[in-house]
Amino acid sequence: MTGFGYNINGFGTLSEPPYIPQAFALDYVIIAGGGGGGRNHGGGGGAGGYRSGSSGTMDLGVTFTISIGAGGAGAAGAVGARGNSSTISATGFTDVTNTGGGPGAINQQNAPSGGASGGGNSRGFGAGDAISGQGNIGGSSPDYTGGGGGGAGGAGQAGSTYVGGVGGIGTASSITGSSVTRAGGGGGNGYLPDEGGAGGAASGGGGKGGVYGENDGEAGTANTGGGGGGNYDGGSGGGKAGGSGVIICKVPTADWSGTHTNATVTTSGDYSILQFNQSGSFAT
């Protein structure tokens, strides 16, 4: 007889300690595609939706699917196209989808809405509205010029009779270790020489507006979600396209498997930074 055995003393058999799952937290910036600029004295396109946040605590062993939204096409007629949405999704993670930027327009009684940031308009009509938490409204103008598209950090500015409206400012993030501004609105078309509206107050990737009879506008910068510039009636190709979106994820290096598709990977201290300029995935 064993006087100290668990069975003899009624305590049962020994068992393994309870399993405690490993966990991690993911930080992210997600930006959708920018809206296309308007044509024929058109307004600038709105910036793609911008959000940053954290997953909160999650178990390891998760695969994240990344979808990057393309920028909206510039207007061949009067109204550009909305930008396309960007999405992060994974099992156990509350999916995050950002809406694309609203299109620039001209002479629209009711400017197209539904974009993250509103597109600019002209001829005294109201500009596009915005989605709360993702962007800001666009600007309008009284006559021959276009208002600026809304940006992640501010509303698009109104144009004057001869000067295109400046696009709304973008928003800065330092998730990569250095501060970068993205998601600026596109500038509106101008009428006087050199007076096309600047894109995103000259930051954030929004395209500059064209100038009547002088030069074309500019497209939004790729992978910033910047809105496309508005263009004048004779501009080649009409309004200018919005910039494509981007998703940036920051995860503790110790918790990342190293498996990914289409990410550009850098490190910052104990963290790995995965920037997706196109759709892809990664696993923890």
- Element containing residue 50 per DSSP (H, E): strand 50-59
**Cα separation of 135 and 119, whole Å?**
11
**Cα separation of 201 and 270, whole Å?**
35
pLDDT of residue 91: 87
φ, ψ at 182 (rounded to 5°): -140, 175
Contact 108, 127 (CB under 8 A): no
pLDDT of residue 110: 57
pLDDT of residue 161: 85
pLDDT of residue 113: 67
Report mean pLDDT in 10-residue bins for the chain, 284 residues. Answer: 44 47 81 91 90 86 94 86 93 86 74 77 82 90 87 92 90 90 92 74 82 82 95 72 96 90 94 96 92
SS3 sequence of 189-202: CECCCCCCCCHHHH
**Cα separation of 228 and 41, whole Å?**
14
| 0.85 exceeded by pTM | yes
